[in-house]
Amino acid sequence: MTDVPAALKPIKPAGPFSAWEFELALRYLRARRKEGGIALIAIISYVAIALAVMALIIVMSIMAGFRNELLDRMLSFNGHMYVQGQVLSDPEREAAVERIAAVPGVVSVSPLTENQALVRAAGVTTGAVVRGLRPQDLDSMSYVFDSLTPEARAAFGQGAYGGDNILIGKALAESMGLRVGDPITLYSPTGADSAFGNLGGLEKTYRVGGVFTSGTADFDRAFIFMALEQAQLFFAKEGVWDVIELKVAEPDRVGELIQPVRAASGDSAIVSDWRDRLAAFWGALKVERVAMSIILGLVVAIAALNIISGIVMLVKNKTRDIAILRTVGASQMSMLRIFFISGAAIGVAGTITGLVLGLVFCLNIGAIQHFLEWILGVQLFNADVYMLDSIPAEVDAMDVVWVTLWSVFMSCVASLLPSWRAAKMDPVEALRYE
């Protein structure tokens, strides 16, 4: 007995994708004992699409999470925008700083000096970058500020010319065996200028006032923070700023603030942003994201192509049904739509399942990581190696929409080819070989 509408009476004209077409298409996908192969292929196609979509959602979300987390840590330590040029030596530079701070979207403005120095403590010598900043600007670096003790925050910048308390990174402190309160000697390669030329390097012993953690081991190993006034004195740069560093509310839209900041700084100011200083890193992230999207998009396409084999077998097994339906009045387009709906239903169901599984995984990735660490008894992510101690995942709505549309589109394309073959089948020839 075939799956033909009751009474085999002529089918009344109906619009495209009518109810009986959907009913018949879905009925063909039901498992029957003698047609178990079709059902098996349909299940395999469904599972393949679901797994491919889930993998694409997870990978895209984790990559977005890594990107945002790394950028957040790097941009928290560094600035979003930089102002250089004549404004740094202008007598009215303090007024310029106030004007820049008043620009909508600018969160903080910090005058800085940066100098290289040799660091010596407990018989160990290494190099570091000494960054001088105003004590009130320390909280602009959220990760650094949050990692310091209240005592370290209060003591920073206290004393004559900014005091002798400096802040060092955790990695540097561990490599040199330093603790809070220990002495540390800094050596400047250049000294003050005089009538007899440069007097040579300066050397001074400071006190470790606090140990910070920026979230990036490389930064913790390479940077030392000093009060701006003290850094100017030690490096013979009295009254000198090397750069004005800005933090903005939306780092991804920093390009929109270049002109307003330049106008507030003065025509002679040189304004740049983090994309210029981190161009290699930023470019690598974009290339990696695009490449991974293309590769996983092809995986989804390959998974969707499994639908072709299922619909081909379905058409072969339903040859008699096709001939009878055509005989009682069904059009070629109706046949095409019936088998198209069967294939598309597999793709849509697989896509929805993959989306749900992918979103559930991403939203619970922290718990999954902790569970795996508990089962395996190892730490999956070491902050000193990966700069992160956990797997970040951030679901982007645009990524979800793109994955959904791509999967459904490929499922429809895969369903269309064998459906066209069913529509072109001659009912007389089909019945002849039954």
Q: Give residue-wise pLDDT tens across range 206-257.
A: 999 999 988 777 788 889 999 999 998 888 888 888 899 998 888 888 888 8
Instruction: Indicate the pTM of the whole model.
Output: 0.69
What is the per-residue pLDDT across 338-385, written as a single tens digit (0 to 9) for each? 888 888 888 888 899 999 999 999 888 888 887 887 888 777 666 555
Average confidence (pLDDT) per 10 residues, the chain, 434 residues: 47 60 73 59 84 88 82 80 85 86 89 89 87 88 86 88 89 88 86 53 87 82 90 85 89 86 85 82 78 83 80 74 72 79 86 92 84 77 63 83 88 83 67 55
54 with 96, same domain: the answer is no
Phi first, then psi, for residue 410 (nearest 5°) are: -65, -35
Q: How many domains, in total, are found in the chain?
A: 2
24 with 88, same domain: the answer is no
158 with 298, same domain: the answer is no
Q: What is the DSSP letter of 137?
A: G
Domain limit, last residue, from 244, 274, 304 = 274
286 with 211, same domain: the answer is no
| Cα torsion angle, 108, 88, 132, 216, sign | positive
Strands 183-188 and 202-212, sheet pairing: antiparallel
Domain limit, last residue, from 274, 306, 339 = 274
Are residues 420 and 339 in contact, defined by beta-carbon separation less than 8 angstroms?
no
Q: Domain range for residue 174?
A: 79-274
Residue with tokens 């007899």: 196
Here the tokens at position 141 are 């670096």
Here the tokens at position 395 are 């679901």
In a domain, 359, yes or no: yes
Are residues 224 and 172 in contact, defined by beta-carbon separation less than 8 angstroms?
yes
Q: Where are the alpha helices (DSSP H) in 29-129?
A: 36-77, 93-101
Name the E strands within 163-303: 165-169, 183-188, 193-194, 197-198, 202-212, 223-227, 243-248, 269-273
155 with 24, same domain: the answer is no
291 with 399, same domain: the answer is yes
191 with 104, same domain: the answer is yes
CB burial of residue 279 (10 Å; 0-12, 13-18, 19+): exposed
120 with 254, same domain: the answer is yes
233 with 87, same domain: the answer is yes
Q: What letter represents residue 349's amino acid?
A: A
**Buried-exposed string 67-95: b where 16+ CB fall within 10 A, e elsewhere:** bebbbebbbbbbbbbbbebebbeeeebee
Q: 290 vs 34, 219, 293, 341, CA distance in Å?
A: 46, 28, 5, 32
34 with 169, same domain: the answer is no
Q: What is the DSSP letter of 104?
A: T
Are residues 307 and 7 in contact, defined by beta-carbon separation less than 8 angstroms?
no
Q: Pick the closest to residue 228 from 155, 294, 133, 146 (CA basis).
A: 133
In a domain, 1, yes or no: no
Q: What is the pLDDT of residue 434?
A: 53
250 with 327, same domain: the answer is no
84 with 66, same domain: the answer is no
Q: Pick the closest to residue 53 from 398, 414, 351, 356 (CA basis).
A: 351
Instruction: Report which secondary-structure segment, H or E, holds 124.
Output: strand 124-133
Domain limit, last residue, from 258, 274, 290 = 274
Q: What is the pLDDT of residue 353?
A: 93
Q: What is the pLDDT of residue 1?
A: 43
